Chains A and B, each alone.
Chain A
Amino acid sequence: MTEKTPTLDTASESKYRIIGKRVDRYDAADKVTGQAVYGADVHPSNLLYGKVLRSPHAHARILSIDTSAAEALEGVHAVITGADLPSVSDRIVDLGETATSLRYQSDNILAKDKALYFGHAIAAVSATQPYIAEEAVSLIKVEYEILPPVLDVRKAMRPDSTLLHDDIFTDELGQKSTQASNVASHIRHAQGDVEAGFRQADVIIEHEFETTMVHQGYIEPHNATAIYNPSGQITIWCSTQGSFGVRSQTSDVLDVPISSVHVIPTEIGGGFGGKNSIYLEPLAVLLSKKSNNRPVKLTMTRAESLAATGPTSGSYIRVKLGADANGHLTAAKLYLAYEAGAFPGSPVGSAAGSMISEYRISNVLIDGYDVVVNKPRTEAYRAPGTSNAVFAVETVVDELCEKLGMDPIAFRLLNAAKEGDRRPDGPTHPRIGFIETLQAAQSHDHYQTPLDGKYRGRGVACGYWGNWGGRSSVSASMNADGTISLITGSIDLSGTRTTTAMQLAETLGIDLEDIVPQVADTNSVSNTEGTYGSRTTFATGWAAHKLGCKLIDAVKERAALLWDIPVDTVDYEDGCIFSKANRLTFKDISKYLDETGGPLMVSATSFEGGHGPSATTHIVDVEVDPDTGKVDILRYTAIQDVGKAIHPDFVEGQIQGGVVQGIGWALNEGYFYNDEGQLLNANFLDYRMPTFLDVPMIEAVLVEVSNPRHPYGVRGVGEVPIVPPPAAVANAIHDAIGVRLTALPMSPARVLEAVWEQTPSAYLG
């Protein structure tokens, strides 16, 4: 067991009283006793239970649906099908980290003419008991005309491919093509002259890569409970990353005013990008409406969650990199074809913007394709689209280092981007800490300690992610005892009530215990984007800082009234309000609220740019079992520029969790479809996420290169940790057994095949 590593504080601040301390988490006690209420725990009076019928076919026309037997079953209250959803327009709706056409969003929630993937929702039922609802859906008769499934991204792109939709016309670099296609769009980033760049190169490496869909794998499946009351007011309880997103999406899909939808977010059992879009909410509302306005709860099984929500794209990627003899990258040519699933909207754009952005390269050409296939519609997953792309890029970088005989960290230091350099997709880098992470990696005990042993190897890989800011809203009320009730619209996935309160306490100079943070529903706070894009501690924290500044102004005004002096003669410092002759603590002002105007309440919002990108360097040691192909992780170190770690425990936790998800993606996780497009591993035994036994301690090293554009130097931390692991593990496997793997997951079977290919005699034993 390794010891906790102290924070490497390059920003040199011990100037904070609260920020940077490992304080108690506000909601922890409720979460260790079972009192915290998650979506599936909600139980309004007179509750009914719902169940969704899903398509067993990947691609089929729906000829008829007969719900009569289900409706006749005792205990059944309502049955709905696609015909119950209002027809909606083609306008674009925001899903948080992704966007889609409203019609596609509606069609994903309930299929209309065609089922487009195995697990696509066809109908839904409400009943007095969950098992009656289950029995009822089995009584619904659907007549399908089975169509050929489109399952391979490259085949889907061919002009003669079967089409999923007859109304998708490729957006070809901004121009709509005239022939229907499965390719929804083609994007390109070009810089310099890539062919000239390759002519300058002394070493050129090119490889093709293939990766399969992987799932976010949150332990809590999707759920929604809704009431449609007799006056048309809708209340929804659900586990979501963003309550305001649920409100707007539900109002769009049901074509009802946004003001009629009240979303009460519960605690949430993990999201990782997969709980921004709605799935069940409109169904629960419609079922309630048809069930005499009784509340209806829908929860997904694990199989439904894997087959019909979430995953991120499988992909086909080509990477060609050139470097001169001194190790300078001269050109990069990248080709990405991403599975969007059944509707357009893969993260190919964010992949293109981040897969190689930590390097300085003058000549770059990136082509990206968003392609529909008969698989579930993809959703955001932690640094969307980037891990698989970086698996490709960093594998080729590793091979360049090998051919040049250069140390992988020295090579990266030579090519590392810094402030002022331009990203291949246009933007110029603000202050980033990539170089600092490389330097910390180089001098780290892990890198300095030689790794001995046959079949053992070490890999290095890096990652970059842009992060996000967005809209946040908070408010504060002063209580009778001078404590503050802090209301935030940000869903708390992993401690952001606390990190938001810490930033407010720091600004006010008061004790953290004097702030009571709470996540509010959509009627109680203003618009707040979901907890995604590594944005919450950055943006909601910024709003909390502004809130603190406004509170300081407010209490100064109250003190000026109380002391009967001009407000500009009142000062505030370290939690105290004072003038030449007077002094009060922040809390004390609560005693004088009535005589200075009554209750004190302040709100603040933020919608800032300035989110700082994250860069990271990972080192991993593996051991490969040559007989079984199994790869064991021996040691893992993740070194990340975290800006300012508001709560170091939580930042380490983000890194450790992201790394282990990345290890799962590297070694075991992946969707397996049969030729008919049916998902064969829709359970946690066969969709094999890392367990306690599969991983060692994960050392998280926090490098703090303060984000100059945030009041407390915060940059997002949650997403970039998942970016390097597949590449780092692949490079370590190469170091161990001399084989380059170019497909994910690097399962025992794949590793073994690669070993046999390399040494056919190994196959013969």
Chain B
Amino acid sequence: MALHLDVKRSKNVLVARLDGELDHHTAAHVRKVIEEELNHEWVTHLVLNLEKLEFMDSSGLGVILGRYKRVTQMGGKMTICSVQPPIERIMEMSGLFKILQMFQDESSAVSACGVAS
């Protein structure tokens, strides 16, 4: 698998760190793992850390928007952090930042969720 996914818990925030390449092929795995984690009772919010994400295309946008809808429906907040410039460009193009807040580092992204809860 060209994508590695690491999930950890920080109080009621699920933090998912993506490492590698997010395309249509690897998107299925990311979706499945995060959806399973979101089923846990303790999870309210979601942070995606994209520091080690080296490649993403529009399939990645679909996965992010899908999780955003789920978390928002659960009454939670979703933020992203540490986005590489080429990926930020694609996100910008899609208007993703109109609904999703981006942070420089993981701790800011996590505390931004805490503030909202």
A and B associate in one complex = no
- Contacts from B to A (Cβ < 8 Å): none
